[in-house]
Amino acid sequence: MPYFPKCFETIRAVRRIVAIPLVLAFLAPVLAQGAETASPVPRFVSLRSDKVNVRSGPDVSYPIEWVLERKGMPVEIVQEKNNWRKVRDIQGTEGWVNQALLSSRRSIIVTGAVRTLREEARDSARPVARAEPDVIGQLLQCEKDWCRVEVNGLRGWLRRTEFWGVYPNETVE
């Protein structure tokens, strides 16, 4: 009789060992779908790394189309699929990036000519600094036509039309 209870204990242990992989296999697609966010699409994010592979499709099996090499650069998420985000860069080029390589921290890239950061959100405000085209900065706040940014440790206000990385009527707090 002592053998009988041990046998049942072994059967229970085997059931647990078999059941765990089966449950995980069943839940894997559900968990992967949960990686898509409730955040709006499109939206702006920034690159978390100095080297981000951009692929032709939403999986590592797709070829790398190009590599983005500017940490903090703003990109626009235009589509989500599992752990992958289809992004658009400032030139309008699109491709797929793993979500782990993106940050929700907002950034901007100065466009056009040299831009003047101002102390307040008005054209007549005292200049704080000048930013060259293609300089990347942090987006701090937006009100009406102006946004407060930080570029190389200096904070000031830029008109929305002087950089890329925010929508025309978007409020950023």
Mean predicted lDDT score pLDDT of the chain = 86
Identify the CA nearest to 139 among candidates 152, 127, 126, 151: 151
Asked if residue 86 has pLDDT above 60, the reply is: yes
The residues near 141 (Cβ < 8 Å, ≥ 6 apart) are: 147, 148, 172, 173
Decide if 75 contacts 47 (C-beta within 8 A).
Answer: yes
Choose which CATH entry (2.30.30.40, 3.40.50.460, 1.10.3210.10, 3.40.50.720) describes domain 108-164: 2.30.30.40
Is residue 6 very low, low, confident or very high in pLDDT (cuts 50, 70, 90)?
A: low
Please answer whether residues 78 and 94 qualify as being in contact, where contact means their C-beta atoms are separated by less than 8 angstroms: yes
- In the chain, domain spans: 1-33, 43-105, 108-164
Name the token pair of 41.
């699409």
Phi, then psi, of 85 in degrees rounded to 5: -125, 130
User: What pLDDT score was predicted for residue 29?
Assistant: 40
Are residues 101 and 52 in contact, defined by beta-carbon separation less than 8 angstroms?
Answer: yes
Residue 27 has pLDDT above 70, yes or no: no
Any idea what DSSP says for residue 159? E
Q: Which two tokens stand for residue 163?
A: 């950089």
Q: How confident is the model at residue 1 (pLDDT cuts 50, 70, 90)?
A: very low
Quote the tokens at residue 133.
Answer: 């085209």
Cβ atoms of residues 93 and 66 within 8 Å: yes
The backbone torsions φ and ψ at residue 35, rounded to the nearest 5 degrees and listed phi first, read -70, -20
> Looking at residue 38, what is its pLDDT?
81
Mean pLDDT for the stretch of residues 51-73: 98
Least confident of 3-17, 74-88, 132-146: 3-17
pLDDT tens, 104-160? Answer: 999 999 999 999 999 999 999 999 999 999 999 999 999 999 999 999 999 999 999
On the question of a common fold for 43-105 and 108-164, the answer reads yes
Share of the chain above pLDDT 70, in %: 79
The more confident residue out of 113 and 4 is 113
Is domain 43-105 in CATH 3.40.50.970, yes or no?
A: no
pLDDT surpassing 50 at residue 14: no
* Average pLDDT of span 67-95: 98
